[in-house]
Amino acid sequence: MTLNIVIGTQWGDEGKGRVVDLLAAEADYVARFAGGDNAGHTVQVGAQTFKLHLIPSGVIHPHTVGVIGNGLVVNPKTLLQEIEMTRAAGVEITPERLRISHAAHIITPAYIALDKAREQSRGDEKIGTTLRGIGPAYNHKAARSGLRMESMLDLEEFAEAVVIQVEGVNEALKNLYGAEPLDTLEIAKEYVDYAQRLYPYIGNVSYLLNDALRSGANVLAEGAQGTLLDIDHGTYPFVTSSSPTAAGALVGLGIGASHVARVIGVTKAFQTRVGEGPFPTEVFDDTANHLRGTGDKPWDEFGTTTGRPRRVGWLDAVLLRYTIQINGVTELTITKLDVLSGLRNLFICTGYQRDENIYPDLPLGPTDLDYETVYEELPGWDEDIMSIRQWDDLPKNAQAYIQRIEDVAGVPARYISVGPERDQVIKR
Q: Which residues bind Mg ion (CB under 5 A)?
A: 13, 40, 304
15 binds ligand GDP (CB under 6 A): yes
d(CA 223, CA 325): 16
101 binds ligand GDP (CB under 6 A): no
39 binds ligand IMO (CB under 6 A): yes
Near ligand IMO by CB under 6 A, which window of 35-43, 69-77, 180-188, 370-378? Answer: 35-43
Footprint of ligand IMO on 127-146 (CB under 6 A): 127-130, 132, 134-135
Q: Which is nearer to ligand IMO, 130 or 424 (CB)?
A: 130
- Minimum CB separation of residue 48 from Mg ion in Å reads 18
136 binds, among ligand GDP, ligand IMO, Mg ion, none (CB under 5 to 8 A by kind): none
- Pairing mode of beta strands 271-273, 73-74: unpaired
Biggest alpha carbon–alpha carbon distance for the chain = 66
Cβ neighbour number for residue 216 with a 10 Å cutoff = 9
- Give the angle subtended at the CA of 321 by the CAs of 320 and 326, to the nearest 5°: 95
- Give the angle subtended at the CA of 187 by the CAs of 185 and 191, to the nearest 5°: 115
14 binds ligand GDP (CB under 6 A): yes
133 binds ligand GDP (CB under 6 A): no
| Cα dihedral value 300, 269, 319, 329, nearest 10 | 110
Contact 115, 138 (CB under 8 A): no
The site for ligand IMO, by CB under 6 A, has a size of 24
275 binds ligand IMO (CB under 6 A): yes
- Minimum CB separation of residue 261 from ligand IMO in Å reads 23
CA–centroid distance for 40 within its chain:
7
Residue 140 among the catalytic residues: no
- Minimum CB separation of residue 336 from ligand GDP in Å reads 4
Near ligand IMO by CB under 6 A, which window of 126-134, 148-156, 207-215, 361-369? Answer: 126-134
- Decide: helix, strand or coil at residue 132: coil
- Decide: helix, strand or coil at residue 428: coil
DSSP state of 60: G
76 binds, among ligand IMO, Mg ion, ligand GDP, none (CB under 5 to 8 A by kind): none
Footprint of ligand GDP on 381-420 (CB under 6 A): 417-420
- Minimum CB separation of residue 337 from ligand GDP in Å reads 6
Is-cis flag, bond preceding 237, omega within 30?
A: yes
235 binds ligand IMO (CB under 6 A): no
Contact 31, 22 (CB under 8 A): no
Task: Give me the residues paired with residue 7 across strands.
Answer: 265
Residue 102 among the catalytic residues: no
- In order of 155, 166, 267, 311, 422, the CA distances from 12 in angstroms are 36, 31, 9, 12, 20
- 404: buried, middle or exposed (CB in 10 Å: 19+, 13-18, 0-12)? middle
Catalytic residue among 37, 41, 233, 338: 41
Judged by CB under 6 A, the residue of 9, 10, 17, 291 near ligand GDP is 17
249 binds ligand IMO (CB under 6 A): no
Footprint of ligand GDP on 279-298 (CB under 6 A): 298
Q: Which residues are known catalytic residues?
A: 13, 41
Q: Would you tell me which residues interact with ligand GDP (CB under 6 A)?
A: 8, 12-18, 40-42, 44, 298-299, 304, 335-336, 338-339, 417-420
